[in-house]
Amino acid sequence: MLIALSGQSTTEEINYLVNRLLQQHLNPQIYQIDGKSVITVSNDSNLSELMALEAMNCVEKVIPIAKPYKLVSREYLPNNSVIKIGSIEIGSGNLQVIAGPCAVESREQIIETAIAVKKAGATILRGGAYKPRTSPYSFQGLGETGLVFLAEARKVTGLPVITEVMDIHHLDTVCKYTDILQIGSRNMQNYSLLKELAAINKPVMLKRGLAATLEEWLLAAEYLMAGGNSKIILCERGIRTFETYTRNTLDLSAIPAIKELSHLPIFIDPSHGTGKWKFVKPMAMAAAAAGADGLMIEVHPLPSEAYSDGEQSLTFNNFNILMKDLKIIGKMERG
């Protein structure tokens, strides 16, 4: 159950309401979302009594929500959330494309890639500076040097940048250089990190965990929104199943499911979802047709020499072909 408070509520009115809910053992919690105050209660067994609270001056609306995630639910916000990053709108109906290398390897590499993906039609540049790798011997990223190169690529092209934040200790550094913060699949349920990101006024892309259910994924997003950050972008990047031919199993059914359950925009990452560059285009096309709000595509000048994930990266030419074919779907923003 959610209780949305009126913008004209007084402190005395809110305190009276909270005390009333405490007396009913409903464990009220107050949150600030986009400048608005809402109260969650632990259960709605006394539904008629709770609905009667709408008669109070401080209550704008009582919203019955049975799901464990409240604020990210479609019941809380029937309309789609739209996240603005400069002139870019995520969730407004146009397909946005994030593109770039798995890892920033050099200044020349990231700037060359940024110029190429922008020319093809990408609207956001990706690149990893801190890399969570399965093997401790694999390339771990350039750290802050990589972030500096990303910022320079943004200056050259005008593309906003997204990069992964792995650790609370890196947060201030990453925030200095990036426009969107990415939480990788391994950190989806890193609740300490989620709470810190919830307090930051930057969009956050939350990737689905390797074996996370939709409910677990949305509850992770709830941590962000309950902490005050409503600029959340979900990203399906494949889940772990018994199939081993592809790197992961890309769950395209998550698109309509999330659209039904939540107001948050959803991206698809067919690069990690399949692990094979030949499969990226058909899965990207399918995701666009299924209603995804955006795509995240790995692109590298020379995939055979990439420090990480070269086997799933598109060349500049293949990315250009993909972007041209996506226009057939009819969802690409017209320039």
Report the number of distinct structural domains present in the chain. Answer: 2
Does 314 lie in the same domain as 227? yes
Does 244 lie in the same domain as 103? yes
- CA separation for the pair 325, 97 (Å, rounded): 13
Does 181 lie in the same domain as 210? yes
Beta pairing class for 29-33 and 36-40: antiparallel
Q: What is the pLDDT of residues 248-294, one digit of tens each?
A: 999 999 999 999 999 999 999 999 999 999 999 999 999 999 999 99
Does 267 lie in the same domain as 217? yes
- Quickly list H helices, 62-213: 107-120, 144-157, 171-177, 191-198
Does 101 lie in the same domain as 211? yes
Does 207 lie in the same domain as 58? no
Does 166 lie in the same domain as 305? yes
Q: What is the pLDDT of residues 198-214, one digit of tens each?
A: 999 999 999 999 999 99
Domain that holds residue 25: 2-63
Q: Is residue 78 part of a domain?
A: no
Report which of 272, 322, 266 is spatially closest to residue 290, judged by C-alpha positions: 266
Q: Is residue 74 part of a domain?
A: no
Structure tokens of 71? 């604020």
Does 96 lie in the same domain as 29? no
Does 234 lie in the same domain as 186? yes
Collapsing DSSP to helix, strand or coil, 183 comes out as strand
Does 145 lie in the same domain as 259? yes
Q: Is residue 251 part of a domain?
A: yes
Residue count (the chain)? 335
Surface-to-core class of residue 86, CB atoms within 10 Å of its CB (0-12 exposed, 13-18 middle, 19+ buried): exposed
Does 227 lie in the same domain as 127? yes
> Count of CB atoms within 10 A of residue 129's CB?
28
Q: Is residue 130 part of a domain?
A: yes
- Across the chain, the runs of DSSP E, i.e. the strands, are 2-5, 29-33, 36-40, 59-63, 83-85, 88-90, 96-100, 124-126, 161-164, 180-183, 204-207, 232-236, 266-268, 294-298
Does 226 lie in the same domain as 101? yes
228 φ, ψ to 5°? 115, 0
Specify the CATH number for the domain of residue 141: 3.20.20.70
Beta pairing class for 36-40 and 2-5: antiparallel
Q: Is residue 192 part of a domain?
A: yes
Q: What is the pLDDT of residues 209-243, one digit of tens each?
A: 999 999 999 999 999 999 999 999 999 999 999 99
Specify the CATH number for the domain of residue 56: 3.30.70
Q: Is residue 69 part of a domain?
A: no
pTM > 0.85: yes or no? yes
- Taking a C-beta distance cutoff of 8 angstroms, is the pair 104, 129 a contact? yes
Report which of 310, 316, 292 is spatially closest to residue 97, judged by C-alpha positions: 292
Q: According to the model, what pLDDT value does residue 133 have?
A: 63
Q: According to the model, what pLDDT value does residue 335 have?
A: 41
